[in-house]
Amino acid sequence: MAIYTVQPGDTLWKISTFSGVPQSILMQVNGLTSSALIPGLNMYIPDQTPPERYYQVKAGDSLWRISQQFSTTIQAIISANPTINPNVLAVGQRLRIPTWQKYRMQSLVFIDAFDPSPYLEILREVSSSITYLAVFTYSFNRTGTLIEVTDEEILTACRQFNIRPLMVVSNYENGTFSTQLADEGLNTSVRRTLIKNIGTAVRNKGYAGVSIDFEFVPPARRNDFTSFLRELKTELGNRILQINVHAKSSDDPTNRLTGFLDYRGIGQVVDIMAVMTIDYGYAVGPPDPIAPVWWVEQVLRYATGLVNRRKLMMAMALYGYDWIHPQTPNRIATMLPALPAQNRAISNGVRIQFDSQAQAPHYRYTSNSLQHAVWFEDVKSVKAKYELMDVYNLLGTTYWRLRFRFPQNWAFVRKNIMVVK
């Protein structure tokens, strides 16, 4: 069963009865604050069935060959894919593969260093599903001096839970990403100083490596940015150099947001490149899915054509947005963690819709005479993205961010995925 969509007339007791899962477990796994349900709610139902893998048929494949690859049986594959012709597999066809041979991935989760203490309990809960913890954020000044954060408690927790910490370095200034700071930081003399300071801090504090999160870099600094990464990797040696890049499905070197990112050149330098497949629907734009699966695949198709896919991660949002209508220049959508987004629909008694093309949940409600539109991520929408990760054989995923509770996601990961520490 795994994922069940609540139907009209369903109750928690009814779902508990036919699934055999206690109501208390259903509430805990799905983050429910009461027994109230609404139609369209996608619930994760823990069960004892094998995990599922996802596979795209290649030339020369047969069910026997695929069954051997995944240590399963031909009949299990046929049962999971009742519409296929077992004697004629089409190249490009995607199959569900029931198997105890889990998809292996690495994961990276961002944590705020500005006020980490409330989130350490969450870290304890999900630590088995985290490979890297990226501590957001170190910045720098115009001379290349690092602006550090208070991270001792976080680093202690990483050692306790066998998580590899990465020091996030960004062009973050006064609460936002600064184009001017990035521009000046890439000047030859400044960046040499910055790189030396990064290397010293990483070694002194015991970080496993660095996560670069530069945004709104002037497109004209494209080659300088790649050179910065190359020089930083030399400084770091065997330590990890990871970078977060904006999503794109083609290259426009003049684009204000993505022009500075040379996917191919960056991919040759770094150890891990995470593509930020999030915020298709964003706070100052119109209501839209956060990461429609068709768009995510466009981005992955482009990225895997330029970068070794075993270096690639795709970003996973643990949140949604709540937009108010009518939109005005002063109205910015509110970011909602996945759990509050789900529970807001329940408390307002509105049905959750699911866009089959985007593979994304959404709903509308009224508050104080204002119309609201919410798009968010739930267990069904993230499952569709894990399928893409498996099909494209990516290294793994990143999550923004730790403090956004999403128990369905972590329950799904624990059952279906082997997170490599």
Q: Which of 41, 65, 98 is the last residue of a domain?
A: 98
* Domain match, 292 and 180 both: yes
The mean per-residue pLDDT over the stretch 28-54 comes to 96
- Is residue 184 classed exposed, middle or buried when 0-12, 13-18 and 19+ CB atoms within 10 A define those classes? middle
195 pLDDT exceeds 90?
yes
Angle at CA of residue 336, ends 403 and 215, nearest 5°: 75
Q: Are residues 169 and 150 in the same domain?
A: yes
Q: Are residues 78 and 107 in the same domain?
A: no
Asked if residue 306 lies in contact with residue 314, where contact means CB atoms within 8 angstroms, the answer is no
What's the pLDDT at 325? 87
Q: What is the pLDDT of residues 341-399, one digit of tens each?
A: 999 999 999 999 999 999 999 999 999 999 999 999 999 999 999 999 999 999 999 99
| 133 in the same domain as 241 | yes
CATH number reported for the structural domain that contains residue 141 in this entry: 3.20.20.80
What pLDDT digit, counting tens, does each position of 215-272 carry?
A: 999 999 999 999 999 999 999 999 999 999 999 999 999 999 999 999 999 999 999 9
Domain end: 60, 77, 98, which one?
98
Residue 347 to residue 80: CA distance in whole angstroms = 36
Same domain, 300 and 396: yes
User: Do the Cβ atoms of 21 and 398 come closer than 8 Å?
Assistant: no
pLDDT in tens, 314-350: 999 999 999 998 887 788 999 999 999 999 999 999 9
CA torsion sign for 99, 100, 105, 109 is positive
The yes-or-no verdict on residue 117 having pLDDT over 80 is no
Residue 310 within a domain? yes
DSSP-assigned beta bridge partners for residue 324: 372
pLDDT score for 114 = 81
Please check whether residues 168 and 70 belong to one and the same domain.
Answer: no
The one-letter code for the residue type at 71 is S
Give whole-number Cα distances, 401 to 4, 107, 113, 133, 318, in Å: 26, 12, 12, 10, 7
If pLDDT is split at 50, 70 and 90, which confidence band does 1 have?
low
- pLDDT score at 326: 85
Same-domain check for residues 385 and 278: yes
Structural domain including 84 reads: 52-98
Q: 9, 39 in Cβ contact below 8 A?
A: no
